[in-house]
Every structure is written in structure tokens, then in C-alpha cells.
Amino acid sequence: MNENNIRQLIERFLNAETTLEEEQTLYEYFQDENVADDLKPYREVFQSFAAVKGIDKPVTKSTPAWVIALRTVTSMAAVFLIGLFLFVNEETPETPQMTTATAQTEYMPDLCEGSTPRELYMCYLEQKREQPKTYSLIKRMIYENEH
């Protein structure tokens, strides 16, 4: 590095005008033993600045494996639950047979009773198989019961 450049850098350094890269240049120059005579007085201070560089930088820890695993499982579970919700809400489009008179007589599904969510689910699933639009019929039933 040109000695005149170094002298200019030192001046800028003392005016707090240098960039981090320029400061690094200064530190590296003074690590070497071969320093111009008039610059020798600066050696100790710049070596010391080099020694303390970055010692208080907070250490960024990488995320532990178990956190990553937990996040993956949680997001997978969320996707599964959303999919399940959409599936249960699925309404099959009306088939032409539905317009016949027999189909018009209201098929009233039974409100399922079960002790576990699984029982309820299986029961509604069966009813859904027997009659499409069961879910919306049940919803309407519940709505009418409450109002």
C-alpha cells in the first residue's frame, strides 16, 4: 500500500471519515513490521485497534435442530388440518336426479351423537355418503333450531 495513501487514510480515520474497509486496510498495513519511519508512532495504536476489532459483536447462534424439526411438524399439521376442514366442507354439485320429486321430500339427517370426535366424524361421513349436501342440511337444521 502506498505510503501517501496510508497517511491520507490516517487523517481521514482521525476525522472519523473512513469506512470499515478502509480501517481494515490501515490495520493490515500496521501488522507488517516494515513501516515507514514517520508512521512508526502509529503502529502501536493501530495494532491495538486491530486487536479489539469486533470483540463485542453479538454471536449469532444457529437455530438448533429440534427447533427446525418442531417448526416443520407444526406447519405440516396446520396444512393437514386445513385440508381436513376443506374436505369436510366439500359440497358435491347437484346431480340431475336431485330435481325429481322424491328427492325434494326433505331428507332429514339425524344429528349425530357420539362421545368422541372420531365417532362424530365417522357418523357424519356415513350420512354424507348416503346423501350429498348433508353437511349444509345439518348446518341449516342447527341454525333453525337456534333461531
Partner 1 sequence: MTTETFKDEVQAMRPMLVGVARGVLGSDEEAEDVVQDALLRLWQLRDEPIRNVRGFARIVVRNLCLSKVRRKQVMVDIGKADIADETETTNNEQIDRMMTLVDALPTMQQTVLRLRHMQDMSMADIASLIGTSESAVRQSLSRARRSILEQFTRIMTTD
**Cell for 115?**
362421545
Query: What single DSSP character describes residue 36?
Result: -
Site string for partner 1, 4-33 (x = CB under 8 A): ---------xxxxx--x-------------
Site string for partner 1, 118-147 (x = CB under 8 A): ------------------------------
23, 4 in Cβ contact below 8 A? no
Number of residues that bind partner 1 (CB under 8 A): 21
Distance CA 110, CA 127 (A): 9
Residue ranges that bind partner 1, judged by CB under 8 A? 13-17, 20, 41-42, 44-45, 47-49, 51-58
